[in-house]
A and B are shown apart, each in its own frame.
Chain A
Amino acid sequence: MKALWQREVQAILQRQDFVKWWESLVALESKKEQIQERQQELLAQVNLMSFKAELTQKNAIDSLYLAGEHEDAAARRLAEAAEIENKSYEAVANFEGQRIDVSDLFSKMGAVEHRFLTRQAEVRSLRTELEGAAEKDKKAELKRHLKGKEKELGRTEKDLRESSAIYERENSRKMSLWEEVEQMWARSLDINMGVSERRIKSRQARRVAEVLFREAEDHKHKSEALQIEAEAAQKNSDEVDRAIEDQRSSARKFFGCLVGEEFLYWPRREDVNEVYCMSINDHGEGFNIELQARNIYLIHRQRGVEFIEPLPPEGKARLNKDHRLDDFFAPGGTDGGKD
């Protein structure tokens, strides 16, 4: 590789073929950047779509489990309702028995009441007869008879009170049995309504699961399609990479330089320990100075691009002609104490 003067390197960069080479490289780099951006976007979409597919499938499975749970709950409630209905038949039978008993008691109580009223009327009649009787014997006979009837009336009254109390008690029990029957029917109705609701919920959850399974499949297909597109973009990117590599390699042949990933290098003829380098891209940071693409910089053979310097002006014969320091150090020179 031939060492070049600074002006020779600068002349290469001005040549028409170099400008064309550079423009092609920039176009390829730009194309690569676009492809990579698109590829990254596609890969992100692939991941997102795969994640969506997995999540949707999981939700579908959850929904299916939920449908099963609703069905189980409906079955349990149905069994509970059947048991309550069976118990309600027994309760109705109990009630019927009690109703007949109470009806008998009512009849009996009516008979006792009738007997009581008859005795009451008889006592009243005897008392009237006694008040109107004139004969002594007749009065004594009526008194004895009245006494017997009053005793009977007392017994009948007691019987009436007892039979009335029994009737009230048994009637109350009958009402209580009916209330129990009604409660069972209400509970059974409540459960039956719950069963139908659970069945509807189960059907709904199954429908949701079916929709989610379809969506998951759809996401999977989309993810696969995106994956194919991303692979095509990767292939395209590889082709552009090869084209960039070819373009870079051609620089060695056409412009007599060494080709790095980020720089072109020419050995410096002015100093064998130094090398000219041209940055292929802009670099705001990452190096000791800010680099601009297509600018020439100077580096040392040993340190390479770890320490980059701007180009010095050609021919540094300035030192001898520069009198600024002489002015400063001369008596009465530059106003050194101004600050």
Chain B
Amino acid sequence: MNKVTQLQKSRLFEGLLPEEIEMLADLTQHRVVPPGELIFEQGDIGDCLYLLVAGSVEVLQQGADNSPHLIARLDAPSFFGEMSLVDKEFRSASIRTTAEAELLCLSNENLHSFARIYRNGFTLVVINIARVLSARLRETNQKLIAIS
């Protein structure tokens, strides 16, 4: 698998220079997860974001009855776990594979390495994350307005 190509496809790394993408490729780790396995659980400490380059996952959140509720499905190419890079809080949901998934993991620490060398590239990554979060917030607001 060509990590550079996969990273170039992601919205998270839009606008980055080729050498920045190359360094990020060096900083990511490739993982293959069989179907039905938890990648992380709600409440875990978040320390990396995941790019889903193949396969699919489901996002599960624990309800009041303590049972997991499906809140979204993600198909490749996609990403998740980016919130932990911003707020460094516990995971807000669990992620479980529904098919064999190929992932690229980028840890906070490795992202920091990137930031020390490519400050502007890092800022762009953060802006891209903020854009995604902002889009999600707008979407949620629209839904709330529709409900009210």
Q: Which chain B positions have C-beta within 8 A of A312?
A: 23, 117
- Bound CA–CA A285/B28 (angstroms): 11
Q: Are A285 and B131 within 8 A (Cβ)?
A: no
Chain B 14-42 near chain A by CB (<8 Å), digits 1 or 0 = 01000100010011111000000000000
Q: Are A310 and B131 within 8 A (Cβ)?
A: no
Task: Scan residues 121-139 of chain B and give those whose CB is less than 8 A from a CB of chain A.
Answer: 123-124, 127, 131-132, 134-135
- Bound CA–CA A285/B105 (angstroms): 12
Q: Are A289 and B110 within 8 A (Cβ)?
A: yes
Check: A319 CB closer than 8 A to any chain B CB. yes
Check: A290 CB closer than 8 A to any chain B CB. yes
Check: B10 CB closer than 8 A to any chain A CB. no
Closest-by-CB residue of B relative to A335 is B131
Chain A 54-89 near chain B by CB (<8 Å), digits 1 or 0 = 000000000000000000000000000000000000
Instruction: Write the nearest CB–CB distance from B48 to chain A, whole angstroms.
Output: 10
Count residues of B near A (Cβ-Cβ below 8 Å).
24
Q: At the interface, is chain B mostly helix, strand, loop or mixed?
A: helix
Check: A135 CB closer than 8 A to any chain B CB. no
Contact of A324 among B15, B28, B131, B134 (CB under 8 A): B15
Tell whether A324 pairs with B29 under 8 Å between CB atoms, given A316-B117, A336-B131, A339-B134.
no
Q: At the interface, is chain A mostly helix, strand, loop or mixed?
A: loop
Q: Which chain B positions have C-beta within 8 A of A324?
A: 15, 120, 124
Identify 24 residue pairs between A and B in the complex whose beta-carbon atoms are under 8 Å apart, listed by A's number: A285-B29, A288-B29, A288-B107, A289-B26, A289-B28, A289-B29, A290-B30, A309-B110, A310-B23, A310-B26, A310-B113, A312-B23, A312-B117, A313-B19, A313-B117, A316-B117, A318-B118, A319-B120, A324-B124, A325-B123, A328-B124, A328-B127, A339-B11, A339-B134
Measuring CB to CB, which residues of chain A are less than 8 angstroms from any residue of chain B? 284-285, 288-290, 307, 309-310, 312-313, 316, 318-319, 322, 324-325, 328, 334, 336-339
Which 7 pairs show the lowest CB-CB distances between chains A and B? A339-B135, A310-B26, A309-B113, A312-B117, A339-B131, A322-B120, A325-B120
Measuring CB to CB, which residues of chain B are less than 8 angstroms from any residue of chain A? 11, 15, 19, 23, 26-30, 107, 109-110, 113, 117-120, 123-124, 127, 131-132, 134-135
